[in-house]
Amino acid sequence: MAAFVSMQGVVKEYKMGEVTIRAADGVNFEIEKGEFCVIVGPSGAGKTTVLNILGGMDSCTRGSVIVDGRDISRLSPKELIRYRRLDIGFVFQFYNLVQNLTAKENVELASQICPDPVDAAQILEEVGLGGRLNNFPAQLSGGEQQRVAIARALAKRPKLLLCDEPTGALDYLTGKSILKLLQDTCRKSGTTVVVITHNSALTPMADRIIRIKNARVESMEKNIHIVPVEAIEW
């Protein structure tokens, strides 16, 4: 059976004057449906480039990017908008909440652009913010704001949840709680979750570990001894 996510021979080149820079240099990997995948590597290795291509926010120079049987590298700009809107949930390092909307209204933003959204109050309850529905972002802690961002992404019922350094702006314990939420979400809902990080200590919590270095996949392994995030120290 074909993998749910597959990148084959993906190259991404940028031109800077007469110099060509390769941010992805023949990237190959696969992710199965419902897996919690950690993509790890040092800063500048090409992790975010890979995530942006996977999320339809950037295009590859060549290669194929298959998500749920469809090659998104062949989609038109209009089709990519629909793909990002309906199939992908994004969680970034810096929350990206609308400051003059409440937590509930921020989540409802997502429900306005997809056909079968989860109820905003219900999904906020599920991420532990049932009592904070009417609070504005400035009234929430960093961890709570990231939970709103995760709820907003999950409200779309995405096929793929892409998280770029989701704990980068959080303290240690709050970061752990966010990773536990992502891991639990993957297990309970069957959503395929991809987390980008430079912190290799997080790899034991993943079903699949992809190591990227110098714009290439250095290794890909299936983890058979999964460790709950509560048991990981870094």
Predicted confidence (pLDDT) per residue in 130-139, tens digit: 999 999 999 9
Residue 171 reports pLDDT greater than 90: no
pLDDT at 225: 93
Average pLDDT across the chain, whole number: 93
Residue 195 reports pLDDT greater than 80: yes
Phi, then psi, of 107 in degrees rounded to 5:
-70, -35
The residue among 197, 138, 127 whose CA lies nearest residue 169 is 197
Q: Could you tell me the pTM of the whole model? A: 0.93
**Cα 212 from chain centroid (whole Å):** 16
List of E strands, the chain? 5-16, 19-31, 36-40, 62-67, 70-71, 88-91, 160-164, 192-197, 208-213, 216-222
Predicted confidence (pLDDT) per residue in 77-126, tens digit: 999 999 999 999 999 988 899 999 999 999 999 888 888 899 999 999 99
Predicted confidence (pLDDT) per residue in 37-59, tens digit: 999 999 989 999 999 999 999 99
pLDDT at 233: 87
pLDDT at 33: 96
Token match 């069957």: residue?
190
Residue 168 reports pLDDT greater than 90: no
Burial (CB count within 10 angstroms: exposed 0-12, middle 13-18, buried 19+), residue 99: exposed
**32-61+76-231 under CATH 3.30.300.350, yes or no:** no
Domain spans in the chain, listed from the N-terminal domain onward: 32-61+76-231
Per-residue confidence band for 192, with pLDDT thresholds at 50, 70 and 90: very high
